[in-house]
Amino acid sequence: MEISQDIDSLSTEDKIRAAAAKVFVRKGYAATKTRDIAKEAGINIASLHYYYRSKEKLFGLVIGEALNKFSQGMDEVFGGDNPLHEKIKNFVNRYIDFFKINPYIPVFIMSESQNNPEKVDQLVDSQKLMPKLTKELNELIEEGIIRPISPVHFFLNIISLTAFPFIAKPLMSKKMNLSDDDYSQMLEERKELVPEMIINFLYLKKPS
């Protein structure tokens, strides 16, 4: 899921891309200097341009990767045919684990899609899982199993409760005086709390 390979075993091209991912994701597009990336990769700036033409092109690859990793889980979780309440649990567990390993990704994606929408928009595939999820929700609503809710709210509720604690970590841990371990512990607790809250709200009678 993350950069795991020994840096020296990578080709120059891959070293650059790995370094770019690391620096762009941590600092954002504007604050990242091509020299930062070159230094992180242990290569010359010219090599960066040799392989990737420009800072912008390289950034396009990095944010594309980030968006893929980010949305991949959604398709996988909501694409299955297990009960909805299981999907909810899977989603929360999976994304909390993912964000624990990639803590800078949420702010990176959200701030870049606000500040550089032209670079991000083309990469966002307008729906794919939405039709399926919509159908699933509508069926459960008609059967009287869950309350009426639009897919947008359903989706926003889950992602909000899962991703926002990572986005707000610097502020919250400061404001609440929480150490990194405290915060990590709290996030573990949310693997139970968040699904319970959503299911509790959604289901008219508790599911199996």
Partner DNA sequence: AAGAAATTTAATCATTTGATTAAACTTTTT
Partner DNA sequence: AAAAAGTTTAATCAAATGATTAAATTTCTT
Q: Which residues contact DNA by CB under 7 A?
A: 11-13, 32-35, 43-47, 49-51, 53-56
Among residues 90 and 173, whose Cβ is nearest to a copy of itself?
A: 173
Residues with Cβ within 8 Å of residue 140, at least 6 apart in sequence:
84, 146
Q: How far is the CB of 107 from DNA (least distance, A)?
A: 20
165 lines the binding site for a copy of itself (CB under 8 A): yes
Q: How far is the CB of 35 from DNA (least distance, A)?
A: 5
Q: How far is the CB of 50 from DNA (least distance, A)?
A: 4
| Single residue of 107, 137, 140, 146 touching a copy of itself by CB under 8 A | 107
What's the Rg (C-alpha) of the chain? 20
Q: How far is the CB of 9 from DNA (least distance, A)?
A: 13
Among residues 56 and 192, whose Cβ is nearest to DNA?
A: 56
Q: Which of residues 179-208 bind a copy of itself (CB under 8 A)?
A: 186, 189-190, 193, 196-197, 200-201
Partner whose binding site includes residue 142, from a copy of itself, DNA, none (CB under 5 to 8 Å by kind)? none
In this chain, which stretch among 15-23, 41-49, 52-60, 157-165 interacts with a copy of itself, using CB under 8 A?
157-165
